[in-house]
Amino acid sequence: MASEFKDDWLRKSRLSIDQVGFKRYPQTDLKELRSVTQPRGKSFFFISAKYESLDYDVTEKQIYLEDEKTKPYSYFVKRDILRPLIFMGAGIIIACIGTFVHVAIQRIGEVKYSYLCDFIDDHHSTGAGNLTLTILMWYLGVIVLVMLSSSIVIFIAPYASGGGVAQTIAYLNGISVPNLLSIKGLFVKMFSTVLTCTSGLAGGKEGPMLHMGATVGSRFPDLFTKFKFCSIFKDFQNDHERRDLGAAGFAAGIACAFHAPVGGLLLALEEGVSYWNISLMWKIFLCSITSVFFITVLLSIIEGAPGHFNSPDLLTLGKIEDETTHYEYFEFIYFIIVGVIGGILGAILVFIHMYLTYFRKRFINTNIRKLTESFLVAFLVASLYMISIFSYNKCKTVASKTEAGGHAANKTVGQVYCPDKEYNVMTLLIYQTSESLITILFSPVIADVEIGSLIILFVIYFININFTMGLTLSAGLFVPQIVFGAIWGRIFGIFLRYVHHGAKWAVPSKYALLGAASQLSGSIRKTFSVMVIMTEASGNLSFAIPFMVVVALVKIVGDFFTMSLYDLQAHMMGFPLLSSDPPPLDKDYKAKHVMSIPPLSMLSIQSQISDIINILSKTTHNGFPIVQNNKLRGLILRHDLLVILKYKLYKYLSPTTTQEFVERNAVFKNEISKQLNLKDCEVNEKYYNFSIDLVPYMNLYPYTLPETSSLATVYKLFRCIGLRHIVILNNSNEPVGIITRKDLARYHVWQHCCMMGVKELKVL
């Protein structure tokens, strides 16, 4: 019966689109209808059964409620005072990590490119043997760093691969992601990011900084719980507090990377925080502004100007002067064009990434193959850069470079087949880290950057960015997208300057800045946060309106073709994400049509230990209704049952005094952040016939809904409150089913080129 309703819903969702004027498909039977509801081509999305929801809502157990009654008012005052200090402390640590990553990338990049530049200039034209040595040194400068970066991820912490943004978004959406908050993974990601960013691959630090920030925020209370006088920190180890701290760390990570505290706050809210309020916004902003302040202090000290917070060198994109961002009203036509280009290119990158990810999952699935892939990509990128340097022999005089001034006046450049006192223009774009390249592309005074070298770099970087995304190493995509957008944006600006005969308003660096915002938004599809991040990172408020026009157009154009890159990654990883709105046309469909198929696994108030062990060993469920005479009395979590078995609480009588309630609650609080398995909870067979009263340990007031509730009601309750289970009852208050996150997330709404529908994903 339920499957018939599902098929009808899928058909109705398709028909509704036809009725409002979208393209109509012929529909004759159920088999054809199911094929219509799927997007074109092969579906790469699924729901992984291994991912569970967080317990964001506090479980109101009797032992917990009785323990809360014993706490004086001063305890809650102390906890409220401590909470903002924890957020600030997390921000300070994130700032220290951000400082290390930034300085390490900068220093290693300078040493590497300066050495390679000098070595190539000294040996490239002195014989075939030295030329071979020159090429070998260039390849080593790329491949060694890439192999080191990939090796430590593959063999030490595979879960540190990539930027980690999709996984962090899933966590903020309410999903428990294994090893996401691993301290070992944090250190591996930190060193792998430095190696990747200095290797020459199209990788950035911003994505990993988001992940590392979320890890630091969520794990910060763990630093103090081992001390007896810091027992209050245990109150911040539940999923509710951890996820709030993770959201703050997520925002602080991007705030550190771009010196954009408001942008970090908006990105955290826009990217994935499924439950938020004004209080959470304030705490996230506090963490972000603290991290930005401390990283600014630390960098100003390292740069030799302590307390000089307004230095342009502290801005990720460099200081963009008002003369550069001055615009005329008729330029909005060109701004719209930039937005359209960014949306199309962003969709193309997402589309390519989808098929490359599918290929990697099928064929590159062993450690040796992953390491080989990293080697081949590093070899390809090194070859492309080397060929461009030696084949594009356009030279500029050192004098013209010096006269250019600005941020790029002291950049590393190489001679390479050019006469004395001249340099190869391609080396100005290649002998740089991504952050240095950004300042060159955004600088209005660098006449050396001409259109020929930019077109070559555009082609190389397009290949670089597509193959780097998805490698088994730590790398983000924020900076690569900004660089790629700045390249084609500057090309577009040079073209306009040529068409309009050198008009003053046609400034290439202005369109490089807009192209960067357009490309970044075209990939991640965020509007407000990208606009604010680019505004804060460039230090120029006057350009906010053009930014907004561009990112709005990008959002419209990009969504017309594909979903965002992070949404694609999350769906291809099998995360049961819940979007902000329920699937369309679900008002007529009830909870009974989507709930888990009976029979339910239930326990009685007085349950035998053998029954508990049996139900834990034969099921993977994480919540079990507690019934008495078939009537619902409560809900108990799998973790709580495992704690009961581990500490052998069945050997003791149920707590009756206040002291006993407090002691039992302390046991559960100590285990709240640990992953328990049945094999860790050995039970002697002589206790199998013992019974235990589950009332003190179960949730006395679980969320319930009648089976006739609409699917929209169930969805909104799950999404807004952050639930893990909803027990479905019949008219007699008897449990007839349970709805979990996966029961809702499997109904995936797809959109593609004026078509949309609801597809039921497989749970694997």
**How many domains, in total, are found in the chain?**
2
Provide the b/e sequence for 120-141 (b: ≥16 CB within 10 Å).
bbebbeeeeeeeebbbeebeeb
Domain CATH for 605 = 3.10.580.10
Same structural domain for residues 549 and 476?
A: yes
Confidence (pLDDT) at 336: 95
The pair phi, psi for residue 416, each rounded to 5°, is: 45, 85
Partner residues linked to 735 by β-bridges = 729
Q: Is 259 a member of any domain?
A: no
And the tokens for 543?
């350009």
Instruction: Respond yes or no on whether the N-terminal peptide bond of residue 208 is cis (omega within 30° of 0).
Output: no
> Hey, what's the torsion of the CAs at 642, 644, 647, 652, to 10 degrees?
-160
Residue 467 domain-assigned?
Answer: yes
Q: Which residues of 556-583 are buried (b: 16+ CB within 10 A; e: fewer)?
A: ebbbebbbbbbbbbbbbbbbbbbeeebb
Q: Is 648 within the bounds of a domain?
A: yes
Is the domain of 660 the same as that of 524? no
Exposure string over 597-623, b if 16+ CB within 10 A, otherwise e = eeebebbebebbbeebbebbeeeebbb
Residue 458 belongs to what domain range?
Answer: 331-573
636 bridge partner residues: 624
Which residue type occupies 50? K
What's the sign of the alpha-carbon dihedral 694, 697, 702, 707?
negative
> Is 478 domain-assigned?
yes
In a domain, 754, yes or no: yes
Whether residues 602 and 553 share a domain: the answer is no
Residue type, 638: R
CA–CA separation, 144 and 149 (whole Å): 9
Nearest to 703 by CA among 53, 172, 59, 62: 59
Q: What is the mean pLDDT of each run of 10 residues along the chain (764 residues)?
A: 54 42 34 36 75 84 90 88 93 95 91 83 61 84 95 94 91 90 94 94 91 94 75 82 92 90 89 76 94 91 74 60 80 95 95 93 92 96 90 72 42 70 80 85 72 92 94 92 94 91 87 94 89 83 88 92 90 88 74 80 90 89 90 92 90 88 88 82 86 91 90 84 88 89 84 76 83
CA dihedral 194, 196, 201, 206 (to 10 degrees): -60
Residues 547 and 634 in one domain: no
DSSP H or E stretch at residue 639: helix 638-646
| Run of H or E residues at 114 | helix 73-123
Beta strands in 532-630 (DSSP E): 603-604, 606-608, 623-628
Q: Are residues 752 and 694 in the same domain?
A: yes
Domain check: are 493 and 557 in the same one? yes
Q: What is the pLDDT of residue 432?
A: 85
Q: 518 and 623 share a domain?
A: no
One domain, residues 366 and 495: yes
Q: Is residue 17 part of a domain?
A: no
Query: Buried b / exposed e across 678-710, counting CB within 10 Å, b at 16+?
Result: beebebeeebeeeebebbbbbbbebbbbebebb
Task: Clarify whether residues 530 and 612 are in a common domain.
Answer: no
Q: Are residues 558 and 609 in the same domain?
A: no
Distance CA 269, CA 526 (A): 11
User: For residue 335, what pLDDT is reported?
Assistant: 95
Do 641 and 543 fall into the same domain? no
In a domain, 544, yes or no: yes
Coil, helix or strand for 504? coil
Please state, in angstroms and as integers, the Cα–Cα distance from residue 147 to each residue in 178, 360, 467, 570, following that order. 26, 18, 15, 26
Tell me the C-alpha distance between 395 and 703, whole Å. Answer: 71
Domain-ending residue, one of 540, 573, 606: 573
- The 3-state secondary structure of 456-487 reads HHHHHHHHHHHHHCCCCCCCECHHHHHHHHHH
Which DSSP category does 710 fall into? Answer: B
Please report the pLDDT score of residue 308 as a whole number.
66
In a domain, 87, yes or no: no
Q: Can you tell me the distance from the alpha carbon of 451 to that of 453, in angstroms, rounded to the nearest whole number?
A: 6
Q: Is the pTM of this model over 0.85?
A: yes
- The CA-atom distances, in angstroms, between 472 and each of 139, 146, 150, 214, 276 are 20, 10, 6, 21, 33
Residue given tokens 């005074």 in the structure block? 445
DSSP-based helix, strand, coil % in the chain, nearest 5 = 65, 10, 30
| Angstrom distance (rounded) from CA 335 to CA 548 | 10
Final residue of a structural domain among 547, 573, 599:
573
Whether residues 544 and 674 fall in one domain: no
Task: Report the pLDDT value the prediction gives residue 277, as an integer from 0 to 100.
Answer: 80
Query: DSSP label at 445?
Result: T
Alpha-helical runs (H) found in 20-72: 30-36, 62-70
**Quick one: which H or E segment has residue 759?**
strand 755-760
CATH value at residue 448:
1.10.3080.10
